[in-house]
Amino acid sequence: MESPVLTDLEGSLVEELLNKVDAPLILLSPSGDVLRFNKSCETLSGFAGHEVAGRKFWELFAPSEDAEHVKTAIFDAQQADALFEFSGYWTVKDNGRVLIEWSLRPIIHEANSISYIVASGKDLTHRRSREAALQESQAFLRSIIDASPVAVITINEKGRILTFSRQAELTFGYREVDVLGKNIKMLMPEPDRSRHDQYISHYAETGERRIIGKARLIKALRQNGEVFPAILHVSEFHNDNDIYVGFVEDVTERIDTERRLNETQEQLHHAGRLGAMGEIATSIAHELNQPLTAAASLTGAVSLTLKKDNEERFLNTTEMLDDAIGEIKRASEIISNMRDFVRKRKTARSIHDVNKVVEDASKIALIGADADGIRVETNFDKRAGEMMLDRVQIQQVVTNLIRNAIDAMRAAPERRLSISTKRTDKCIEVSVEDTGVGLADEIKDQLFQPFVSNKVDGTGIGLSISKAIIDAHQGEICAHNKVSGGCTFVFRLPIIS
């Protein structure tokens, strides 16, 4: 049986077929008039079929600026041998707009002329909205990545770079456009560069995690060939393919700071040992000088007595006694010279930023202070500026005062340490204030003398050395108890213009 020819546009079968299509479907005349308008069109546009029948398609639905383009498309479709497609906005009721992708196909009459044009549409509005939302989401995510203070790099399962954050550009010296699609190993020095592909292959084959999820110290390579230390943390996620995200933090400055602080700490320890030896030597010299002087006097008296007897048998004895007196005096002079040398030791002065000197010393002295529950407050006067001083010696003083303050607060209910600098017209002040037990009355006047200590297990050398250092800088150091509890140590260094 042959299929029937559907020529009656008023027939219920054609109407039913049009409305069964779950997409916008319009039947146009060759001149562009709307002949049929299915329910999907009515739902999408808000117009009923009878409202649009007989009206020009481009006048009714195309925005004014696109009307001529749509009109041309309809007439071009009649010249095409195949399906003709174009996209454009469709004006709907209440001045809304939807984006439609149209497919136009002419229906040829038996006389080889075009009877109708079938226009089927696909609503792209939601798709474009989703695409716009996706683009917005991606832009938002990218802005977050670019705001990261560490370099963020993503690679695929073959090690090819997919994204390269702004901080990554600053850290490595490459532009993102120059590294996209290239192997991540270009950012590695040897031997990691040669081994990296093997690392990825090993993980793909075994699933054994050697670096994923673990922070580790690595060496990385800048564009200029500089190798630098960095902390690398790698994460993994799946999005059709395996994606790896690397967070790279350049720790060059941190390691340099740690190295500098370690060197400073070693210098402080060395200076402290020398200072302690000097103070001990000074005290010993003081104590030895008195008995040596007495021994010389007594020996001289014996020699003088024997000489008065004028006996020949004592001649050798008096000569030996005189030699002994000479040796005792020479020993006394050596000890006196040693004491004077220690007391008048020179300082290796140069220009230094006072706040930086105090800050570096504080970092060393405060190691472990967190564990003791000590809250630290700093107030560095920006006007403190630079001055001539012996950096190591002044840091030795600051370190000693801070550690004394920490020891004084071990049993205190409130443990607050304040470190500050202040510039006046004549000097720069450095203060260390604690909330500890304060100074005992019996040692206040002897606080800076050798072997006098406010601590049970103290040696009494630290403050004596500190005073000697400040004296050598023509400064002064003092301490006083606070009314609220605790103690404040202050030393002042004169500003020499």
Q: Tens of pLDDT along the chain (497 residues)?
A: 343 444 555 556 666 666 777 778 888 888 888 888 888 888 877 888 888 888 887 877 778 787 888 788 778 777 766 677 777 777 777 767 777 787 888 877 766 677 788 888 887 766 666 666 666 666 777 777 777 888 898 888 888 888 898 899 999 999 988 988 899 889 988 888 888 777 777 777 776 666 676 778 888 899 999 999 988 888 887 766 778 888 888 888 888 877 777 776 676 665 556 555 665 666 666 566 667 666 667 677 777 776 676 666 666 676 776 767 766 666 666 566 555 555 555 556 889 999 999 998 888 788 777 777 889 999 999 999 999 998 878 888 898 899 889 988 888 888 999 999 999 989 999 999 999 888 887 777 777 776 555 555 545 577 877 888 888 888 999 999 988 889 999 999 998 76
pLDDT of residue 4: 45
pTM over 0.75: no
| Residue 310 and residue 238 in one domain | no
Where is the domain boundary, 221, 250, 279? 250
Q: How confident is the model at residue 395, as a pLDDT?
A: 85
Question: Does 7 reside within a domain?
Answer: no
Tens digit of pLDDT for each residue in 338-356? Answer: 555 555 555 568 899 999 9
The alpha carbon of residue 264 and the mean position of all alpha carbons in its chain are separated, in whole angstroms, by 23
Q: In this structure, what CATH number is given to the domain that contains residue 304?
A: 1.10.287.130
Rounded to 10°, the helix 462-472/252-309 angle is 90
Token code pair at residue 146? 């670019």
Domain for residue 210, yes or no? yes
Q: Is 82 helix (H, G, I), strand (E, B) or coil?
A: coil
90-119 residue pLDDT tens: 777 776 777 778 788 887 776 667 778 888
Query: Do 399 and 319 share a structural domain?
Result: no
Are residues 413 and 379 both part of a single domain?
A: yes
Domain tally, the chain:
4
Predicted local distance difference test score (pLDDT) of residue 314 = 64
Residue 357 has which token pair? Answer: 């000197």
Q: Quick one: 77 and 163 in the same domain?
A: no
9 phi-psi bin (left φ>0, alpha ψ -120 to 50, beta other): alpha
Residue 111 and residue 164 share a domain: no
pLDDT (0 to 100) of residue 14: 62
- Does 105 share its domain with 228? no
Q: Is 292 exposed, middle or buried (0-12, 13-18, 19+ CB in 10 A)?
A: buried
Domain harbouring 434, CATH code: 3.30.565.10
Residues 339 and 354 in one domain: no
Question: CA–CA separation, 309 vs 178, rounded Å?
Answer: 107
Exposed e or buried b per residue across 222-232, where buried means at least 16 C-beta atoms within 10 angstroms of its C-beta: eeeeeebebeb
Predicted local distance difference test score (pLDDT) of residue 113: 73
Instruction: Please report, for the domain that includes residue 206, its CATH number.
Output: 3.30.450.20
Task: Look up residue 46 and give its DSSP letter.
Answer: S
**DSSP codes of every residue in 155-183:** EETT-BEEEE-HHHHHHH---HHHHTTSB
Q: Which domain holds residue 289?
A: 254-343
- Which positions ≥6 away from 350 have C-beta within 8 Å? 388, 389, 391
Residue 1 lies in a domain: no
**Would you state the pLDDT for residue 274?**
56
203 and 280 belong to one structural domain: no
Residue 192 pLDDT? 81
Q: Judge whether 427 lies within some domain.
A: yes
* pLDDT at site 476: 93
- Nearest-Å Rg of the Cα atoms of the chain is 46
Is 150 domain-assigned? yes
Question: What is the bridge-based pairing of β-strands 375-379 and 416-423?
Answer: parallel
Neighbours of 149 (CB within 10 A): 6
The three-class DSSP label of residue 96 is strand
What's the number of CA atoms in the CB half-sphere (13 Å) around residue 393? 25
Residues 416 and 485 in one domain: yes
The verdict on residue 465 lying in a domain is yes
Residue 2 falls within a domain, yes or no? no
Let me know whether 185 and 157 are in one domain: yes
My answer on whether 201 and 319 are in the same domain is: no
**308 plus 415 within the same structural domain:** no
Q: Single out the residue in 250, 273, 293 at which a domain terminates.
A: 250
pLDDT at 419: 94
Please tell me whether residue 437 adopts helix, strand or coil conformation: coil
Residue 376 falls inside a structural domain: yes
213 contact partners, CB below 8 Å, separation of at least 6: 233, 234, 235
Domain boundary among 326, 343, 360: 343
